[in-house]
Chains A and B, each alone.
Chain A
């Protein structure tokens, strides 16, 4: 039986700048930053301060898990901005939108109401997009589902 999800991978173009982005701007904490063996893979994980059981591994596409050709393609996909890496929850989407915007975080969509919450969409410094969601306790079916493209 699987009991939980403990780790998810976020593909980034540069671990240093990603680490700075996720901690200094998004406000996550660093869980690990180590290099495995001499000249080996650098392992950087971050996570939300209130959620110690889930970490994000900030990985640059490449060896040992990815061959050079695939890594090149993956980097192109990241930079093109077509990869969405997930959704972050917040207790105040509008306030967090303003805070992050002031720090220079690039938003694709400002906060908008959906049946499940208030949602904005931003990009990390590599180009992946994320939802920033302030969930409602229960669905508000009076709000259209697919308003978000507006």
Chain B
């Protein structure tokens, strides 16, 4: 076992990393539940504050952003395949407000749920084995290039007038609801 150098970030401690992983897996399993960051933090054995900080350090986004992103991914999947209304899908993936859901959906995918469904069902879906989709879906969001502004959906803690010039989703009035949305986690 290599010695951890003085001053090395605590995330190199595999015990800490393991607890972050368990918390992340719990969110992956229970995304449809009304998850609460304090509960997830407690499961990992941390206070909410330390959990959010450590999780961000390890996975590059806050637990709240992670959960929201995964919920939107599930919603995309349901929009492709399930015969449910947008409202039903919104509730199914763990959102409590349709407005919030649509705002976050558009931030992440560049389309509204209805637009997304229309496009997804007009062409052939790519035939990718599920495990690779899983790997991709559980992966990391791309970091914005330096100076390009915040990535959509990443403004977890900024609160203030988040930049609206981040790429392909201009003119989305995302912030008011986006902030309320993540109230649950993060």
Contact = CB atoms under 8 A, between A and B. Distances in A.
B39 interface: no
Nearest to B129: A116
A72 B58 CA distance: 14
Contact-size category for B: 35 or more
Contact of B134 (A62, A68, A115, A148): A148
Interface string A59-78: 00010000011011001101
Given A79-B14, A108-B25, A146 B130 contact: yes
B181 interface: no
Contacts of A108: 25, 28-29
Interface residues of A, number: 35
Interface of B: 1-2, 4, 11-12, 14-15, 17-18, 20-22, 24-25, 28-29, 58-59, 70, 73-74, 77-78, 80-81, 125-131, 133-135, 137-139
Please classify the interface of chain A as helix (H, G, I), strand (E, B), loop, or mixed, using the class held by over half of its residues. Answer: mixed
Contacts of A47: none
Contacts of A62: 1-2
Nearest to A77: B17
B2 A146 contact: no
B130 A71 contact: no
A80 interface: yes
B25 A106 contact: yes
